[in-house]
Structures are given as C-alpha cells and as structure tokens.
Amino acid sequence: MFDINLIFLPLFGFLTGLLVSTLGGGGGGLYVPGLIILFGVTPQVAVATSLASVLPTTAVGAFSHYREGNVDIRTGVILGIGGIIGTLIGAYFANLIPPNLLEKILGAFTLIMIIPMMRSVLQRRRKEKEEQNDDKEKTITLTGSKRIIASFFGVASGLMAGVFGISGTPPVIAGLYSLGLPAVMVIGTSVFVLIFNSAAGIGGYYLLGRLNLTLIILLAGGAVVGAFIGPKLLTKIDPKTLEKIYGPLLLTIMLILGLSLILT
C-alpha cells in the first residue's frame, strides 16, 4: 500500500538539492537521516536510495556549475578516480559493519575532516589575499605531493559513499579547500567529483538488491530541480562575502553532523 507521507518526498528532495548545490555536495548526508527519520525507511534501503538519488542531483548541479565556470575539471577527475576506488572498497565492507557502529565511525571521520579545513581557513585569513575578482578563472596544477593528497581525499570520499551511502562530500570539500581552490570553485568542483562516487555506489548496491525505484524517482525528481536552481543563486552573492562565510559555515555544519552521529 502506498504511504501518503511519500508525497512529500519530492519537496524534501527539492530543498535538499537546493541546499547542497549551493553549499557544495550531493545531498547524501541529508538524504539518509531524512529518509529514516521523516519517512520511516529502513537504513539499508535509505543508503541505497540516497546513492541513487545523488547521481542525478550531482549531474545536474555539476552541469549548472560548469556553465557558470565553477568547475576545475582536471582536479575533479583526479579526486573522482580515487572516489571510484574508495566507493567500491567501501561497498564491499559495508555489510560487515553493524549499523550503529557505522554511525559512530562516520561521525568520527567527519570530525577528522574538519582539521585540514580549519588549517586552510586560518591560512586564508592570515594572508588576506585580494584575488577574489579572479576566482572564476583560478585553477591549480596538481603535481607531486599535491596529486597524492588529492587522490587520498578522493579515496576517503569514496569510502564514505560506499560504506555509509552518502555522497562523500566532507573529504572532497576538505581536499579541494586545502589545495587552495577559491570558495566558488570548491563548491562547483565538489559536486562534479561526487558524480563518480554515486555512479560507482549505485553499481555496488544494485547487485545487493537494495534499490527502491519508487523512492528514487520521487526523491531524485525534486532534488534535480533544486540542484539546477542552486548554482544560479550563487551568481547573486558577492564573492568576497561568500569567501568569508563559506569556510566557517561548512565547519559548523560538519561539527554538528559529526557530533550528532557520535552521540546518538
């Protein structure tokens, strides 16, 4: 029998897609708890539905960001390849870890990711660079140690996606932010990288038979609309203002998410 509460899934998807495409990410960190708490979906199905719903959200969001010039393709591909490897490994071990323990590990991992982000935020504040007007065109060249660092964050992101059913946003954003990309590029490139994670995760969880097509269509339908609108809102925000609030806001969100998962 159809659950009447499911008619609100498109609205939930729209709001989540709007939020994560504006702040960076794919929405998995909100989809999973939202599906479980608001709609009574079992954790296993919520994980699979989240990964499947993240794919159209990130694809549309990344395309919209690319049109606005907010995506560093080369850097994103390096992290994305690492993400595929991590996702496949994570999916393999997912069923070996009890659900309650998964939440605690996810919370601890999220808190760990705050460390490189905090370091980068403090460095940016001390330097006070006045290059915001050139943010749209700024890219980085990954060679040597930077390439290794980027790959590590990509694999870490994939592990989170494969094990926890989330997009793996925190490591991607932490990595891009630590590598020195400006805020608008971090946001756009992070959405692009998560396409790799979600695609690899869908393949793994499809084989486990955990995909609910009805939930995916309802959730992803609303999320795609929100993800398309989000990047357009960024064009109306002053880059200097965004640079000031972006780091502290993400650190706060990650802190709350990490602590809540550990303490529940």
Instruction: Calculate the average pLDDT of the chain.
Output: 77
Q: Please, are residues 200 and 158 in contact by the beta-carbon 8 Å criterion?
A: yes
- Cα separation, 31 vs 27, in Å, equals 6
Q: Quote the number of domains for the chain.
A: 1
Per-residue pLDDT band for 182 (boundaries 50, 70, 90) equals: confident
Phi, psi dihedrals of residue 152, rounded to the nearest 5°: -60, -45
| Cα 161 off chain centre by | 9
Least confident of 120-134, 157-171, 176-190, 191-205: 120-134
Residue bearing the bigger pLDDT, 117 or 179: 179
User: Whole domain around residue 243: which residue ranges?
Assistant: 4-263
d(CA 81, CA 190): 13
For residue 59, what are its two tokens? Answer: 């694809």
pLDDT in tens, 53-76: 888 878 888 888 898 888 989 889
Measured between alpha carbons, how far is 158 from 23 in angstroms, rounded to an integer? 19
pLDDT digits (tens, 9 = 90+) for 106-155: 678 778 867 766 776 676 666 655 454 444 444 555 555 666 777 788 89
Query: Contact at 8 Å (CB) between 20 and 231?
Result: no
